[in-house]
């Protein structure tokens, strides 16, 4: 069914001209491919300044042909802040190095990590601000793309009465939902992290409002009845999943690296390549402030 009223983005066109690299947009609202930067080396001050600007505008940046080592991957992550350690490491389910999250799907996998709309680790009081995934083995027959959604635009496209209803509400984000529910991990002593965040947050750098609930971690909205909370969350989750203009799609090649902003995006790994394999590694970077509202 077509929408009766079409709302448009309130944001001006995003910048595409940079002096230190070439940028090609994936869509007008989210996602850009960058060519001309070698992420195995420290970036110059001007490259870093332009990269920060492009990251703020485009939210998801795709870099091709980055055959870099694990240490170089971590060093690039550290240029954004301290590295995050994923909660699944604490229960011995994700490799040896706490700063590297292996992302591996084989014919024997019971699930593929991230195969549903989510923002990384929002069960933490201070979730990672960004993640950097490098895929080194793509499925031979294609597939294994990652979808991303612009959660600033997701907020903007809501009606004014809905925005008003959501402002001031907070929601619970529970690590047990994905880690125990979907991944069948045994919870550590004291359980996985569980925390409350505002339903609408403000991006600490751009100042934009962000719809900040996700089907991966958000269990309920505080202060609503359980039925109200379920219906409202499902409405918001459907909005994210069924509004194509929120989305971009990253097609991986061996040695593609993608950097995304967890403070204003969600993503969804697509498992459409069974029985083939896909392998990569993710580094995430800790934020310094908790998601906040105005």
Write out the residues near ligand SIN by the rule CB under 6 A: 103, 113-114, 131, 133, 146, 267, 269, 282
Active site residue 267: yes
The distance from CA 75 to its chain's CA centroid, rounded to whole angstroms, is: 20
Q: Out of 84, 247, 263, 282, which one is annotated catalytic? A: 282
Q: Out of 84, 86, 120, 268, which one is annotated catalytic? A: 120
Q: Which is nearer to ligand SIN, 113 or 264 (CB)?
A: 113
The distance from CA 205 to its chain's CA centroid, rounded to whole angstroms, is: 17
- Least distance between ligand SIN and beta carbon 126 (Å): 18
Question: Count of H helices and E strands in the chain?
Answer: 7, 15
3-state secondary structure of 166: helix
Q: Which is nearer to ligand SIN, 146 or 195 (CB)?
A: 146
Can you tell me which residue has the tokens 């997701």? 154
Cβ burial, residue 200 (10 Å; 0-12/13-18/19+) = buried
- Strands (E) in the chain, as ranges, are 22-25, 32-35, 60-63, 101-105, 128-137, 146-150, 170-174, 194-198, 200-202, 209-211, 218-221, 247-250, 256-261, 265-269, 278-286
Q: Out of 29, 86, 94, 118, which one is annotated catalytic? A: 118
- Least distance between ligand SIN and beta carbon 37 (Å): 21
- Least distance between ligand SIN and beta carbon 146 (Å): 4
Active site residue 249: no
- Least distance between ligand SIN and beta carbon 202 (Å): 24
Active site residue 8: no
Active site residue 174: no
Q: Out of 94, 209, 220, 267, which one is annotated catalytic? A: 267
Q: Which is nearer to ligand SIN, 94 or 282 (CB)?
A: 282
Q: Which is nearer to ligand SIN, 59 or 133 (CB)?
A: 133
Closest to 82 (Cα-Cα) out of 286, 290, 288, 292: 286
Catalytic positions, written as ranges:
118, 120, 267, 282
């Amino acid at each position: 069914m077509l929408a009766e009223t079409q709302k448009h983005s309130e944001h001006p066109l995003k910048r595409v001209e940079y002096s230190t690299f070439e940028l090609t947009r994936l869509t007008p609202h989210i996602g850009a491919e960058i060519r001309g930067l070698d992420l195995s080396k420290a970036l110059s001050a001007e490259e870093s300044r332009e990269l920060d600007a492009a990251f703020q505008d485009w939210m998801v940046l795709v870099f091709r042909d980055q055959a870099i080592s694990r240490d170089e991957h971590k060093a690039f992550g550290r240029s954004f802040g301290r590295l995050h350690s994923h909660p699944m490491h604490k229960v011995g389910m994700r490799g040896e190095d706490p700063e590297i999250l292996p992302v591996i799907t084989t014919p024997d996998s019971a699930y593929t990590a991230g195969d549903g709309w989510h923002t990384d680790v929002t069960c933490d009081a201070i979730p990672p601000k960004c993640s950097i995934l490098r895929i080194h083995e793509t499925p031979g027959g294609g597939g294994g793309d990652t979808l991303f959604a612009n959660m600033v635009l997701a907020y903007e496209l809501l009606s004014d009465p809905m925005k008003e209803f959501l402002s001031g509400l907070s929601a619970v984000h529970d690590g047990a939902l994905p880690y125990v529910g979907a991944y069948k991990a045994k919870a550590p002593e004291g359980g996985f992290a569980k925390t409350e965040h505002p339903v609408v947050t403000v991006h600490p750098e751009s100042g934009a409002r962000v719809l900040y609930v996700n089907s991966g971690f958000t269990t309920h909205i505080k202060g609503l009845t359980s039925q109200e909370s379920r219906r409202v969350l499902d409405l918001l989750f459907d909005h994210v999943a069924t509004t194509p203009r929120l989305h971009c799609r990253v097609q991986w090649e061996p040695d593609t690296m993608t950097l995304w902003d967890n403070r204003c995006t969600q993503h969804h790994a697509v498992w459409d390549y069974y029985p083939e394999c896909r392998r990569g590694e993710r580094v995430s970077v800790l934020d310094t402030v908790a998601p906040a509202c105005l």
